[in-house]
Amino acid sequence: IISVLSVNQILLLLLVLTVCAILYNKVHQVSSALKNEAVDLETPEEMEEEIPVVICAAAGRMGAAIAAISSIYSNTEANVLFYIVGLKTTIPHFRKWIENSKLKEIKFKVVEFNPMVLKGKIRQDASRPELLQPLNFVRFYLPLLIQKHEKVIYLDDDIIVQGDIQELFDTKLAPGHAAAFSDDCDLPSTHEMVRSVGMQVRGHFGIPIGHECIYPQIPSTCSFNPGVIVANMTEWKHQRITKQLEKWMLRNVEENLYSSTLGGGVATSPMLIVFHRKYSTINPMWHIRHLGWSPDTRYSEHFLQEAKLLHWNGRYKPWDYPSVHTELWETWFIPDPSGKFKLTRPDS
């Protein structure tokens, strides 16, 4: 009897163990399937490259930043994260503008810029006071404002983007280069526009030619426009670019080395000095500029249609009057829900 009971107990134990093993395998298979499914769902989003784009929202020009953001967002499927930099007084207005428009779907972070970092570093110049505004110098401090990204795009607010911003982000920077810009010697069409309004394609752009210790070989050097920048943050920090720029700002305060009446003003000249022959180049179609230099000179419509990015650098902005090619800019403008920002037009 004892022997029979023992055999039965062993058989029962084996049966229980077999059932447990089968149940464990079933549960494990379901768990693995769910896990794999979750990974499959999450992987594309996690692997999608984030494109950080820095744009300033300045008082009196917030409509410009809105149009720029609208054009970028509308022309790409890329995962763009907008860093909107402003002063404490302008940020609430700009945030409401975004949240009460079709731009409420964009990914953005608002960054407050503290103008105290510029104290004692800007030489006052009454000829073009708008160029002395604190947000003009945001591009000097990119690594302090943008922490987690290796590569960053900086754009002036007076631009619109007609191409896919992913293309600009994919710009290759040569080893040892902290930034890429557009040469002012790159496009024949740019040369024609420049000559027609009496500008230089080559030359000092605000830096005294006789000042050899600053910028030797100036007459044979192409300048660049820092309104569109693709920057490598690792190289920027490694080369202490911000400190170099601040050094030349301080020297200008002490010695009046360059003037805001030439080139792009006091925010451009330090960059021309620091990045002299130390930068990569952007595809010229990604920075068609000088649209704001004259209210009379125009590019051909065909050329503008092919352009990836248009820049109204100069005095004549597309939200003001007079200006050129305003219809291209207005395509992307979104009216201010509060009514504070209004376009200046002949019939207004």
Can you give the pLDDT at residue 115?
94
pLDDT band at 77 (very low <50, low <70, confident <90, very high): very high
pLDDT tens, position by position, 145-165: 998 999 999 999 999 999 999
pLDDT tens, position by position, 13-47: 777 777 677 766 655 554 444 344 333 344 444 44
What residues have CB less than 8 Å from 61, skipping those under 6 apart?
A: 157, 158, 317, 319
Cβ–Cβ < 8 Å for 121, 90: no
Dihedral of alpha carbons 217, 220, 225, 229, sign? negative
Lowest mean pLDDT among 97-106, 143-152, 253-262: 253-262
| Cα 75 to Cα 36: distance, rounded to the nearest angstrom | 34
Mean pLDDT over 170-175 rounds to 98
| Higher per-residue confidence, 33 vs 166 | 166
Cβ–Cβ < 8 Å for 344, 321: yes
pLDDT band at 245 (very low <50, low <70, confident <90, very high): very high
Q: Is 327 helix (H, G, I), strand (E, B) or coil?
A: helix
pLDDT band at 10 (very low <50, low <70, confident <90, very high): confident
Can you give the pLDDT at residue 7?
65
What residues have CB less than 8 Å from 50, skipping those under 6 apart?
A: 79, 80, 81, 149
E-strand stretches of the chain: 50-56, 79-86, 107-112, 151-155, 159-161, 179-183, 224-232, 280-281, 309-311
Q: And the tokens for 46?
A: 């996690």
Would you list the DSSP string of 120-132?
TT----SSSGGGG
Q: And the tokens for 281?
A: 């180049």
- How many Cα atoms within 13 Å fall on the side-chain side of residue 298? 13
The closest of 291, 81, 49, 285 to 168, measured between CA atoms, is 285
Mean pLDDT over 276-299 rounds to 92
Cβ–Cβ < 8 Å for 288, 163: no
Mean pLDDT over 186-212 rounds to 49
Secondary-structure breakdown of the chain: helix, strand, coil percentages, each rounded to the nearest 5? 45, 15, 40
Can you give the pLDDT at residue 93?
97
| Domain ranges for the chain | 51-186+221-331
Fold of 51-186+221-331: Spore Coat Polysaccharide Biosynthesis Protein SpsA; Chain A (3.90.550)
Q: Is it the case that residue 321 has pLDDT exceeding 80?
A: yes
Cβ–Cβ < 8 Å for 271, 226: yes
Cβ–Cβ < 8 Å for 143, 83: no
